[in-house]
Amino acid sequence: MEQNVLLDLSHISKRYKTELALKDINITLHKGEILGFLGPSGSGKTTTIKIITGQLRQTSGEAKILGTDTVNIDDSIYEKIGVVSDQSGIYEKMTVWQNLSMFAKIWRVPRIRVEEVLHQVELYGHRKKPAGKLSRGQTQRLVLARAVLHKPRILFLDEPTSGLDPSTAVSIHKMLLELKEEGMSIFLTTHNMEEATKLCDRVALLYQGKIAECGSPKELCLKYNQNKKYHLLLHNQEEVVLEQSPQNIAKISEWMQRDEIQCIHSCEPTLERVFLQVTGASLGLANI
Amino acid sequence: MENINKLTAVAQIKWICISRNTAIMIGPILTVAMVWICKILYGINSGGDLSPMLVSLLLNLGISLNLCLDGFIMVGTAIAEEKEKHTLRVLMTSSITGMQYFIGSIIFPFVLMNIINIVVLLISGVSMSQVSVAAFLLVSAAASLISCVMGMIVGLCAKNQMNANLISYPLMFVFMMIPMFGNLSEKLHHISGFLFTGVLTEMAGGFAEGIPYTFKALDITVLIAELVISILVFLMLYRRNGYEKD
């Protein structure tokens, strides 16, 4: 395994009785990379995380985490990775500080690190508050703080901003980018395409248990930009969308020369459109 | 050292969660209160001094309540609460092993149960000169341990706290009611001798009536057999789904 490849999934499949939940998944995660696993509910995102983190056994294929086959990992692997799911709970009757200090004891993390993480997630001022009294956004920040307390090499995030208000989601995005800067690798599952575009170095589009497409968000958007179009706003407030053709190029050129264009944008597809095009399916767009 | 740290952390988490859960902590408080109130009421009715039979009844009530309410309910409900609040998986994905979780989960209830047994013994009015303290502590520890393992089984099977209580009721019916009503029926008294709760209440009843305690082969067999059976049932269920079914 390449030294900076922290995660390597090779031909992973998972069958639940009659249903095939994952089909021939192949993907790698490199050091300091954010990898997005995108797909609608039920596409196999959580199953993948559970297989990688040793909570579930694959039906076939090989999964290696930090150089070790997931079949051979034991509980000590959790000292090197952090896991956040949309259902990660907190001890509501404990204070924010106690919630972290208990896990600091488990991972032998010094007290100063607890303070550092609390400052990072902006919960230091709430450290004496019972965790059950935190808002949903603050709770999610506490969950994230707990997951990164022991400076894991890989952080698994299963729908980390699901159901959060936009400002909290933005603060979590900021924190994830900071963690990436520190060299942490992040495996992120989401059905929020905007989030994936903003955060991920590479994304894998998962549909019905299969990776339909994989690459950087920019690469994928350009790859599926088959009918090139341009969106223009003219000075007379008229909005036009023009396809790329010799006539339209001439028209745009003429408008430019006469300074009639207020703004111009290329219309490459969003990740959401790419997903629709690749799979022909909806992502549960209400959640996007 | 590393294991001790993890064990201490789990035990501390359990201590905080259990001691702040009113629905669970009502058990030990109720046990002590019941024995104390009954002692006053029996005293009023019998004109002051309690007969050895009434002291035996008090001990029977307190010990049975303690072993069942605090064992099955306290341990079982605490695990069920972790499942309900989604903290069990967090703990199990933080490098805590199944064994560390098991031991950490029963330390506080085990200690509390033994303390309550001693408190019940002290407030029942039994003459301490008639009590074989070492034997009582030993059998109390064994019975508390069995009760804790059964509580772990309850926790393993329960989906939530309500469910844990429901699963505990049949166990309580057998292990609490039979020794409790053993004084009223010869048959129940006989069956009680085959229950871990019955072994301890029988021993305490003997102290109340001034009968010196000697270890009987049946008592030892019952305690060992029920401990082994409960551990085997626990392991069988644990191997099937772990602490939480996916």
Rounded Cα distance between B161 and B150, Å, is 16
Query: Is there a single domain that holds both residue A116 and residue A210?
Result: yes
**pLDDT tier at A234 (50, 70, 90 boundaries)?**
very high
Q: Match 């002291």 to its residue by tokens.
A: B55
| Percentage, residues of chain A above pLDDT 90 | 61
CB proximity A231 to B under 8 Å: no
Average pLDDT, chain A: 89
Query: Is there a single domain that holds both residue A197 and residue A54?
Result: yes
Contacts of B245 in chain A (CB under 8 A): none
Query: For residues A283 and A203, is the Cβ–Cβ distance under 8 A?
Result: no
Query: Is there a single domain that holds both residue A159 and residue A247?
Result: no
Q: Which of A160, A165, A157 is nearest to A135 (CA)?
A: A165
pLDDT at A18: 84
Query: Is there a single domain that holds both residue A45 and residue A141?
Result: yes
A215 vs A134, A159, A223, B32, B180, CA distance in Å?
Answer: 38, 20, 10, 66, 70
> CB A91 to CB B13 under 8 A?
yes
CATH number for position A183 = 3.40.50.300
Give counts: helices (H), strands (E), chain A.
9, 13
CA-based nearest distance A118→chain B, Å: 19
CA angle (A159 as vertex; A158, A163 as ends), nearest 5: 145
Nearest to B86 among A88, A102, A106 (CB): A88
* Helix (H) or strand (E) run with residue A204 in it: strand A202-207
> CB B12 to CB A102 under 8 A?
yes
Query: For residues B173 and B131, is the Cβ–Cβ distance under 8 A?
Result: no
Task: Please tell me which residue of chain A has the smallest CA distance to B21.
Answer: A93
pLDDT at B167: 93
Query: Is there a single domain that holds both residue A262 and residue A196?
Result: no
Task: Tell me the mean pLDDT in the region B82-109.
Answer: 93
Q: Which residues pair with A205 in a beta bridge?
A: A38, A213
Q: Which of A199, A201, A194, A232 is nearest to A31 (CA)?
A: A201
Query: Is there a single domain that holds both residue A116 and residue A252?
Result: no
Sheet holding A68-69, edge to edge: A19-30, A5-16, A60-65, A68-69
pLDDT at A288: 36
Q: Is the pLDDT of residue B137 over 60?
A: yes
Q: Is the pLDDT of residue B177 over 60?
A: yes
Task: Tell me the mean pLDDT in the region A266-270.
Answer: 87
Average pLDDT, chain B: 91
Query: For residues A98 and A172, is the Cβ–Cβ distance under 8 A?
Result: no
Query: For residues A51 and A15, is the Cβ–Cβ distance under 8 A?
Result: no
Q: Is the pLDDT of residue A159 over 90?
A: no
CB proximity A151 to B under 8 Å: no
Task: Tell me the mean pLDDT in the region B150-173.
Answer: 93
Tokens for A265, please give them: 């944008």
Q: Is the pLDDT of residue A287 over 80?
A: no
Q: Is the pLDDT of residue B67 over 90?
A: yes
Q: Please list, residue by residue across A117-126, b when 16 or more beta carbons sit within 10 angstroms of its beta carbon and e when fewer do.
A: bbebbebeeb
Task: Please tell me which residue of chain A has the smallest CA distance to B19.
Answer: A93
The region that residue A279 occupies, defined by phi over 0 for left and psi between -120 and 50 for alpha, beta otherwise, is alpha
pLDDT at A285: 45
- Please report, as a single letter, which amino acid is at residue A79: E
Most confident of A10-24, A62-76, A188-202, B104-118: B104-118
Query: Is there a single domain that holds both residue A36 and residue A133?
Result: yes
CB proximity B94 to A under 8 Å: yes
Query: Is there a single domain that holds both residue A46 and residue A143?
Result: yes
Task: Tell me the mean pLDDT in the region B81-99.
Answer: 92
pLDDT at A255: 92
Query: Is there a single domain that holds both residue A214 and residue A241?
Result: no
Pairing of strands A34-38, A185-190: parallel
Query: Is there a single domain that holds both residue A42 and residue A112?
Result: yes
Q: Is the pLDDT of residue B235 over 60?
A: yes
pLDDT at A281: 67
pLDDT at B209: 87
Nearest to B6 among A50, A53, A106 (CB): A106
- Please report, as a single letter, which amino acid is at residue B153: I
ipTM of the complex model: 0.87
Reported as a single tens digit per residue, the pLDDT across A85-115 is 878 899 999 999 999 999 999 999 999 999 9
Q: Is the dihedral of CA B157, B159, B163, B164 positive or negative?
A: positive
Contacts of B96 in chain A (CB under 8 A): 75, 106
A282 assigned to some structural domain: no
Residue B83's CB: how many other CB atoms inside 10 A? 22
* Helix (H) or strand (E) run with residue B156 in it: helix B133-157
Would you call A69 helix, strand, or coil by DSSP?
strand
Lowest mean pLDDT among A75-84, A196-205, B48-57, B98-107: B48-57
Query: For residues B237 and B157, is the Cβ–Cβ distance under 8 A?
Result: yes
Contacts of A76 in chain B (CB under 8 A): 95
DSSP labels for A128-179? TSBGGGS-HHHHHHHHHHHHHTT--SEEEEESTTTT--HHHHHHHHHHHHHH
Domain that holds residue A75: 5-222
The CA dihedral of A145, A150, A154, A159, to the nearest 10 degrees, is -20
> CB B95 to CB A146 under 8 A?
no
pLDDT at B125: 86
A275 assigned to some structural domain: no
Q: Is the pLDDT of residue A284 over 80?
A: no
Q: Is the pLDDT of residue A224 over 90?
A: no
Query: Is there a single domain that holds both residue A117 and residue A235?
Result: no
CB proximity A75 to B under 8 Å: yes
Contacts of A108 in chain B (CB under 8 A): 2, 5
A123 vs A29, A68, A103, A129, B240, CA distance in Å?
Answer: 30, 35, 16, 10, 40
Query: Is there a single domain that holds both residue A122 and residue A31?
Result: yes
Task: Tell me the mean pLDDT in the region A4-27.
Answer: 91
Q: Is the pLDDT of residue B117 over 90?
A: yes
Rounded Cα distance between A148 and A154, Å, is 9
A62 φ, ψ (degrees, to nearest 5) = -130, 130
Query: Domain tally for chain A?
Result: 2
> CB A93 to CB B96 under 8 A?
no
**pLDDT tier at B70 (50, 70, 90 boundaries)?**
confident
pLDDT at B86: 92
Reported as a single tens digit per residue, the pLDDT across B8-49 is 999 999 999 999 989 889 999 999 999 999 999 888 877 778
**Dmax of chain A from CA atoms?**
70
Q: Is the pLDDT of residue B221 over 90?
A: yes
Count of positions (residues) in chain B: 246
B239 vs A13, A153, B45, B98, B236, CA distance in Å?
Answer: 23, 30, 53, 10, 5
Query: For residues B151 and B109, is the Cβ–Cβ distance under 8 A?
Result: yes
User: For chain B, how far is it from start to end, CA to CA, in angstroms?
Assistant: 32
